């Protein structure tokens, strides 16, 4: 009984640590996801049409944005999060050292809280940069040459609602999809100058082809 108790205590502490780390990761990815979506759609003057979706979608978006930003580490423009990360690490180590080594209570707690607050602010800066950097890269890719060709067959009622430019650009195969929901599609013109928010009910067929 006495030998198993420390083992159970260590296992419980491990579970608590894993739970806290999982919660921190979920909140972090959620924030990165929200920043990424807002930055990407804001570049095209759009708002998030999926605002009512589950939080887990934003967590996945943030996870994907973080992985993509780290995967493009070789590009100088994708390293903007590193200074915030280094400063957050130094501030966190400073807070830990102050808590453990300083003897005077007022100095110990004052410096620990100050450095802890600075660590939190810098960590939020890391998350903001991760979301913004990948949003900027995704916008650049969206405005670049398209790898796929989108062709739509619109309902007859759409002709009296949308400008003729939409149908001409559709025939040319230059429209790009920048947001898709069960209710709407947001399309970008070939010259990246205009966006069209088209209700899904106005689209009878959506064909996607890879460009040669």
The number of beta carbons lying within 10 Å of the beta carbon of residue 58 is 22
HEC letters along 53-104: CCHHHHHHHHHHHHHHHHHCCCCHHHCCCHHHHHHHHHHHHHHHHHHHHCCC
Q: Is the pTM of this model over 0.85?
A: no
CA neighbor of 166 nearest in space, from 201, 147, 190, 148: 190
**What are the structural domain ranges in the chain?**
12-143, 148-210
Q: Smallest Cα–Cα separation from 126: which of 94, 134, 51, 76?
A: 134
Give pLDDT, residue 212.
60
Q: What pLDDT is stored for residue 23 in this prediction?
A: 92
Over its length of 212 residues, how does the chain's per-residue pLDDT go in tens digits?
455 555 667 778 888 888 888 999 999 999 999 999 888 888 888 776 666 567 888 898 899 999 999 988 888 778 889 999 999 999 999 999 988 888 888 888 899 999 999 999 999 999 999 999 999 988 888 888 777 788 888 888 888 888 888 888 888 878 888 887 778 888 888 888 888 888 888 888 888 877 66
Q: How high is the pLDDT of residue 127? A: 94
Task: Answer yes or no: are the C-beta atoms of 33 and 60 closer than 8 Å.
Answer: yes
> What pLDDT score was predicted for residue 148?
76
Distance of alpha carbon 166 from alpha carbon 175, whole angstroms = 8
As a whole number of angstroms, the distance between CA 2 and CA 195 comes to 69
Residue 15: strand, helix, or coil? helix
């Amino acid at each position: 009984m006495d030998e198993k108790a420390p083992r159970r205590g260590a296992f419980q502490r491990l579970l608590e640590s894993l739970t806290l780390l999982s919660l921190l990761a979920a909140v972090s990815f959620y924030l990165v996801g929200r920043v990424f979506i807002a930055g990407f759609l804001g570049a095209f003057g759009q708002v998030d049409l999926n605002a009512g979706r589950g939080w887990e979608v934003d967590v996945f978006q943030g996870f994907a944005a973080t992985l993509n930003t780290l995967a493009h580490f070789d590009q100088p423009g994708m390293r903007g999060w590193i200074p915030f990360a280094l400063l957050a690490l130094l501030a966190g180590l400073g807070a830990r050292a102050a808590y453990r080594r300083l003897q005077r209570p007022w100095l110990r707690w004052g410096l620990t809280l100050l450095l802890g607050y600075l660590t939190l602010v810098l960590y939020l800066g890391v998350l903001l940069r991760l979301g913004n950097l990948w949003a900027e890269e995704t916008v650049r890719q969206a405005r670049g040459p398209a790898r796929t060709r989108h062709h739509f067959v619109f309902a007859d009622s759409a002709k009296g609602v949308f400008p003729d430019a939409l149908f001409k650009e559709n025939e040319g195969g230059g429209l790009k999809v920048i947001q898709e929901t069960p209710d709407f599609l947001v399309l970008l013109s070939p010259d990246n100058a205009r966006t069209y928010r088209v209700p899904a009910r106005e689209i009878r067929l959506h064909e996607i082809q890879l460009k040669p």
